[in-house]
Structure 1
């Protein structure tokens, strides 16, 4: 017996949802709302090769494995820190607790602490030897709630204010004494701004320097992501449907992003990197981190980013050396957003990295690492060798 076909309106509804999710994948990668490769596809951070030059990655051989696995093995300590609502935050540390300076790295939307793999490896090697007696600094990395190995909270707590509270909890638990430098990429930079609003007294007292990489203080909902006007209108139309689908039908959305993997991977490459010859290993690496973020978590955090306004939170950052760094071809959070930060932080060092996109920390790791090392020197740490 021939199987009865579904009513036309049902097929149309399903096709509309599929189209919305795929559309979100293609257009929404720009702010990290990406539906990407199946979560089982993994690459090892350690197999990305040396951070001296991304070109060296061309010869790197990558296995489909856990991107956090190899990185975790070089940690001196792996601990869990409870946020103020009890959500466990995964933390990894390199260097002794009594080092004279602590550097805390805060990753971006849909990523994980593995996004800092190049900076982690190079700075750990440089700082570990210190003056021949003790390390110059301790490095602390953690996964934001709902990302990487950290736990998930209630959907209504998917806000920048809550992320700022999480960062405060990490500082209180893992850096109870001594100065700290905060380094944030994308949503991580927004988290630092949120902390400045939440705990302004920390800046200049405990927080002695900050780096804001590829980030913004607001107006993200107005971005066109470098897309033609027609695609921008399409993105605006499909976002609400796709976000609803990811929150209310996450299993369906997960299946859809597996079907759309190749399309989305192409979008990841185009919107995260600027180099025409970017190594495919880097694209797979970013894919693997995003794929490890549940689609409903992606949807829950999106309104917080779209409605962001941290412009009034920047004043405490004027008290400390601040680095503002961006790629000149960042189509996700364009350079103009960093320039706006500079208007509010006139004392900040401003670095524009040529031929770099939003994932500048992976695309041009040497430049980013050197600028962070210089910031540590400005913050009073012994110069890394």
Structure 2
């Protein structure tokens, strides 16, 4: 019979779980459920049918709250990663479009994090309005996120995510030029791809967009917290990570009990605007609730120990967009400035740097028009250069 745990050990586990869940759930990114995506679209983008919080996927598909402007996928597919994990993919636009844009989402997010860009770019680039569409859009859920399958914990690495992206490209985009757009961990995935497939940059891959991301040193982030709280977080997080991986049921219950605290911290760290739409706050709450705590814990070491600085050289061969919110507390804009320095932006006019004022880490939700505009500009630049060759 195992010896009972000391009361102090149990208290440390509970405190670590609470602080760790808040930190892990909000520190780098947020996850999303389809129901959450529908609710925020309904609140932000006009009238829509009322949706029950427990609506099934089938019910949600019946009436898209985007109304007549909705743009469902033209094609869905499952792609098998090299370890057998199935990745969920959705595509908009014809396969013979002259250019394909692949979107890679962040830690605990899903493809639905691109909801506003998906609508805007589908209307601007991927819809045939009497002429050939300019681009095809490809979205996929990273392993352990959204509708994709989960792998073994040992494969929760940036290198594995990079290999997953390579499989998506080989399977769904076997021909033609590609633009890669990544947010947060999605940007890190693209940097990882530059390490495992450097020869693709400048050949298959014609441009890259890196949004709210970093090439490393994430373990040193303070999330805008006072120094004392930063030290406390650093001390308890190993306990929290152990709890999330080894006692996920307990960790989930802790997260539910602390829902209001998690919600308040999440909104503060995800958005910079004081008047951010309350629907976006509820959106983030649902995102976090839809992400298993053990997935959060399994990927955290890969992010905390990230160092992709040595992988950046291939990106010098292609036009690159670096975009950040100037009030990002999770991955501060200094990390984007370091990317600029590593890419030699001072002597290279192929790098565009966009700082979105008054925006936080979830800039793609908080300032969707600015993000969509910057991505559209990058895509059209690549298309124009291709026409002149």
Fold agreement, TM-score > 0.5: yes
Tell me the equivalent position of 2:88.
90
Structure 2 partner of 1:138: 136
- The within-5 A match list for 1:1-385 is 10-32=6-28, 42-45=35-38, 48-49=41-42, 56=44, 63=51, 64=53, 69-70=60-61, 74-130=72-128, 132-345=130-343, 346=345, 347=348, 348-380=351-383
The equivalent of 1:53 in structure 2 is none
Check whether the contact 2:20–2:237 (CA below 8 A) recurs between aligned residues.
yes
Q: Report the CA distance shift for 1:113/1:41 in structure 2 as closer, same or farther (over 3 A).
A: closer
SS state at 2:215 partner: coil
Is the contact made by 2:39 and 2:279 (CA closer than 8 Å) also made in structure 1? no
Offset from partner CA, 1:267-296 (integer Å, 9 cap, x none): 110000000011121122122222222111
Q: How far did residue 120 of structure 1 move?
A: 0.2
Structure 1: unaligned runs, 5 residues or longer:
1-6, 51-55
Shift of 1:11: 4.3
- Provide the aligned length of Structure 1 versus Structure 2: 369
CA distance, structure 2, for counterparts of residue 224 and residue 334 of structure 1: 10
Distance 1:67 1:31 in 2: 29
The alignment's C-alpha RMSD in Å is 2.6
Question: Following the alignment from structure 2 to structure 1, what is the Cα–Cα distance between the partners of residues 334 and 49?
Answer: 37
Report the secondary structure of 1:226's partner residue. coil
CA contact (8 A) 2:24 2:296 kept: no
* Residue aligned with 2:149, SS: coil
- What are the superposed Cα offsets for residues 175-194 of structure 1, whole Å, 9 maximum, x if unpaired? 00000100000000000000
Tell which deviates more after alignment, 278-287 or 334-343: 278-287
Structure 2: how far apart are the matches of 1:60 and 1:10? 53
- TM-score normalised by structure 1 residue count: 0.89
Preserved CA contact (<8 Å) 1:29 1:271: no
Q: CA separation of 1:324/1:65 partners in 2, compared to 1, >3 Å: closer, same or farther?
A: farther
The residue matched to 2:315 in structure 1 has which SS?
helix
Query: Aligned residue for 2:67?
Result: none
Kindly provide the CA deviation profile for residues 74-106 of structure 1, in whole angstroms up to 9, marking residues without a partner as x: 011111000011100000001111111100000
Residue 378 of structure 1: how far off its partner (Å): 1.2
Looking at structure 2, the residues matched to 41 and 227 of structure 1 have their Cα atoms a distance apart, in angstroms, of 31
Q: 5+ unaligned residues in a row in structure 2: which ranges? A: 65-69
